[in-house]
Amino acid sequence: MRRIWLIFSQTVTVAVAVVFVVSTFRPQWIQSISWRQALPGPTVAVAPTPASGAAAGKSGTVGASFRLAAQRAAPTVVSVVTSNAAARNPRRGDQWFRYFFGDQDGQPQSGVGSGVIVSPEGYVLTNNHVVDRMDDIEVMLTDGRKARAKVIGTDPDTDLAVLKIDLDRLPAITFGNSDTLLVGDAVLAIGNPFGVGQTVTAGIVSALGRNQLGINTFENFIQTDAAINPGNSGGALVDVDGNLVGINSAIYSRSGGNMGIGFAIPVSTARQVMDSLIKDGQVTRGWIGVEPRDLTPEIAETFNLPLKEGVLITGVLHNGPAAVGGIRPGDVVVQVADTKVANTAQLLNAVALLRPGQSAKLRVQRGGEALNVDVVVAKRPHMAVSPRQDSDEQ
C-alpha cells in the first residue's frame, strides 16, 4: 500500500512539474486546448424561431432572423417618386404686375415616398399625402423597372390612396390579419426613408388602437418602434412571415427623424378602403349628424348617470338623421348596431361602417332611462376641413 502511495505521489509531482514548465515556456500550448470540449457537460437544444426556420436550425445559431420575411415582402414594396409643376400666373409677363406683386410663379414640388404592390394587376397601395396634388407619379421597383402611375382613388379621411401601374410579372404582397396582432409581436417596416433606397427595419408592436392623434379623421393606428422615417410613408409593415399587417403612415418626432414612435394604418382598414377605391373610386361612409364628446367620470357624476363609459351627444344637426330618429343633446350613446362604443373614436368608426340608407339601432342612456333609437343612416358628406375638426361631427 505504501509503495502504491509513493508511486501516485511521484506521478502527481512530475505532472505538476510538467504543467509548470509548459505554462512557463510554452503557454500557447495550454491556451490551444478547448477545455469546453474536453470536459463533459449538459447538452442544450435550441429550437428554431418562426422567423429563422430550418436555416437557423442547420447553422446552429441562436437568435431570430427575419431574412425570410424580408425576402418575401421586399420585392413588393416600391418607391413612389412624385413631382408637381408649379402653376404659372397668366399675368407673369406684365412688368407692372411684377413690380407691385413680385414674381407670383410657385416653385416646383417633388417628393419620395413608398408603396406596396397589392395585386399582380398593378394596383399599388400608398398614403394619400404621398401623392396629394402631384401631377407626375413614378413607381420604381426593386428590380430596377419604372412605370408611370395613375391615381385610381384617394381617401383623405384615412390618408390612403390606390395607384395603378402597367407592368407584367409583378410581385404582390400577401395580406395578413392585423386584428390578431398583440403588443410585443415582432414586425418589420419596409420602405424608402430619405430616398436612400429600400430599407428594412425591425421592431415590435408597441401599442394598438392609437387614436385622437389629430393625424387622420379615422384613426386606429398600430404603434411600433421599428424605425420609420420620412420616405417610409406608404410602405409596408409586415409580420414575421412577411404578410402585410399595416401601411406605415406617420411618426412622432421632434427632430424630423425616428424616435421610436411610428404609426401604421391596420391592413383591415387599408383593405376595406382599397376595395372601395378600386370598385367605386371613392369610399362611402355612414353619417348621422351629431356632435359627440367622450363621457368623463365628472360629467357622469354631474348628470347622475348610471354608467361610466359612452359618448355624450352635445349637439344634433337640425333635420339630420339623428334628430329625425329622436336623438337629443345630452343623450349618451353606448352602442351602435352590434358595436359597443366607449369613446368618440369608436362612435365615429362604428357609424362610418354603416351603409347609407339603412336603419341602425342606437342604444342610448337618457338620464336614468335606457332607450333604443332607430336612425336612418345618411351618406357622410365630404368636408373641406382638417382631420381634427372633421372628427368632431359624425
Within its chain, how far is the Cα of 142 from the centroid?
21
Q: Where are the beta strands (DSSP E) in 8-118?
A: 77-84, 109-117
List the catalytic residue out of 155, 157, 159, 239.
159
Q: Which of 79, 114, 206, 233 is catalytic?
A: 233
Please confirm, yes or no, whether 233 is among the known catalytic residues: yes
CA distance 82 to 161: 14
* Dist. CA 151–CA 126, nearest whole Å: 10
The Cα angle at residue 33 between residues 31 and 37, in degrees rounded to 5: 135
Taking the C-alpha atoms of residue 174 and residue 266, their distance in angstroms, rounded to an integer, is: 14
- Our measurement of the distance from residue 6's CA atom to the centroid of its chain's CA atoms, rounded to an integer in Å, reads 78
Per DSSP, the residues of 165-206 read: ---SS---PPB--GGG--TT-EEEEEE-GGGS--EEEEEEEE
Catalytic member of 52, 114, 129, 225:
129
The terminus-to-terminus CA distance of the chain in angstroms comes to: 101
> SS3 for 304?
coil
Active site residues: 129, 159, 233
